[in-house]
Structure 1
Amino acid sequence: MGGRVARVARTWPAAFGVALGVSLLPAAPAAAHNSLTGSDPRDGARVATAPARIELRFLAKPDPATTKITVTGPDNVAASGGAPTFTGNRVRLPFKPGKAGLYIVGYRVASSDGHPVSGEVRFTLTTGTPADPSASATAPATTSATAVPPASPSGGPAATSSADASRSAVPAAEERADSGGRGWLWALGGAVLLAALVVGLLLRRRSARG
């Protein structure tokens, strides 16, 4: 009995080592393959403000010589703003946003065993880039130019339009017409009064003769 226990005790470390080695064999090739562990923006995100750069995080340090990253936006327009930079297992790429819509970040990295790993990150930009500043600056200038009346050559206020002149002339014409009508009535009243005086004098003369 004691001999059996001693033999088992002597063979147990060797058996444990073999079992441990067998359990680690499948993990070794898997660990050699690189993979994406995270991104900013994250996959499937909806962002209102465009980020200045896109960041990809990998399980292992990617090789700059064999790493390829592309960014495309709506209408398949390229949206990368420059070359990627590598810091440890992180890769950052300047982002050049365009229209609002879906943006796809495609990547291809090589693993330590030489096997290439590729994939993509998708996010949606809900607001596009602002309008052309020159166009927005021109619109208010055009509006203000139409709103402000042009100056006269002498530097004084601009002359009124023909419509405004006709509107301002109507009251003056009516005033002159009213003044002329009142003068005619005064003349008619004076003539009637003069005629009444003449008739009165004639009647007095006739009465004195009679």
Structure 2
Amino acid sequence: MGGRAARVVRTSVTLLGAVLGLSLLLPVSPAAAHNSFTGSDPRDGARLAEAPERVELRFLAKLPADKTKITITGPDDASAVAGEPTFSGSRVRVPFKPGPAGRYVVAYELPSADGHPIKGEVEFTLTTGAPAEPSPSPATPTGSPSATEPAAAPSPTASAVESEPAPAEPVPAADNQSDAGSPWLWVIGGLVLLAALGTGLLFRRRATRR
């Protein structure tokens, strides 16, 4: 009885060792080969009064730099990525370019060993936006008048004032009327003279007849 029990124990130990050895030799299962997201900085859902210099994403396994895609989008749908991402094992850091206050979305996409792509998003909110950059003002050439101000007209010099002829004095209206009426005076005078001559001749004839 005792010998039989000892053989059973030895057989069980041998089978257990064989199972453990086979488990070490078998390939990794798909569940173990599937990478996954583990955390971020800023964390998902964070509200920040000061913009971070970079965004960090952490994963379970090492990230392939040539196949990992990271995007950061601001509230105006503009990219908030300030440079190339930096990979360190299972972590990736992306320089952050802050914009206006609002919601920022960090989207990631990376392959996994089992061929299934991993996609996800991390969101955080900036409560204070970055100051707007001043727009450059157009430079005005030195020594030339600006486009909005007309050039000042040159003032006349003393020689130019002296060379200008003096305006003619207006002729009085009475002189013009006298000049215009002088022909009529000659006509009236002629008629009076003819009447006087006619009257003289008439009296002379009457005197002759008597």
Tell me the matched-pair count: 135
Q: Tell me which residue corresponds to 2:131.
A: 130
Q: Tell me which residue corresponds to 1:60.
A: 61
Poorly superposed stretches of 4+, deviation over 4 Å: 17-27
Q: Secondary structure at the match of 1:4?
A: helix
Q: Secondary structure at the match of 1:12?
A: helix
Q: Which amino acid aligns with 2:50?
A: T
Q: Which amino acid aligns with 2:57?
A: L
Q: Which amino acid aligns with 1:126?
A: T
Instruction: Give yes or no for the alignment of 1:121 onto 2:139.
Output: no
**What does 1:65-84 align with in structure 2 at a 5 Å threshold?**
65-84=66-85
Q: What are the superposed Cα offsets for residues 16-46 of structure 1, whole Å, 9 maximum, x if unpaired?
A: 3466589998973222111111111011111
Unaligned runs of 5+ in 1: 136-210
Judge which range, 1-10 or 63-72, deviates more. 1-10
- Name the one with the larger helix percent: 1
Q: Tell me which residue corresponds to 1:9.
A: 9
Q: Larger radius of gyration, structure 1 or 2?
A: 2
Q: Tell me which residue corresponds to 2:97.
A: 96
Q: Secondary structure at the match of 2:29?
A: helix
Unaligned runs of 5+ in 2: 137-210
Q: Which amino acid aligns with 2:59?
A: F
Computed over aligned residues only, the root mean square deviation of the Cα atoms, in angstroms, reads 2.6
C-alpha deviation, 1:54, in angstroms? 0.6
Q: Secondary structure at the match of 2:100?
A: coil
Q: 1:128 to 1:115 in 2, by over 3 A?
A: same
Cα distance in 2, alignment partners of residues 114 and 60 from structure 1: 14
Q: Which amino acid aligns with 2:112?
A: S
Q: Which amino acid aligns with 1:10?
A: R
Q: Tell me which residue corresponds to 2:42.
A: 41
Which TM-score applies when normalising by structure 1? Answer: 0.57
Cα distance in 1, alignment partners of residues 119 and 18 from structure 2: 35
C-alpha deviation, 1:110, in angstroms? 1.4
Q: 1:118 to 1:21 in 2, by over 3 A?
A: farther
Which TM-score applies when normalising by structure 2? Answer: 0.57
Cα distance in 2, alignment partners of residues 12 and 2 from structure 1: 16
Q: 1:87 to 1:22 in 2, by over 3 A?
A: same
Cα distance in 2, alignment partners of residues 77 and 102 from structure 1: 12
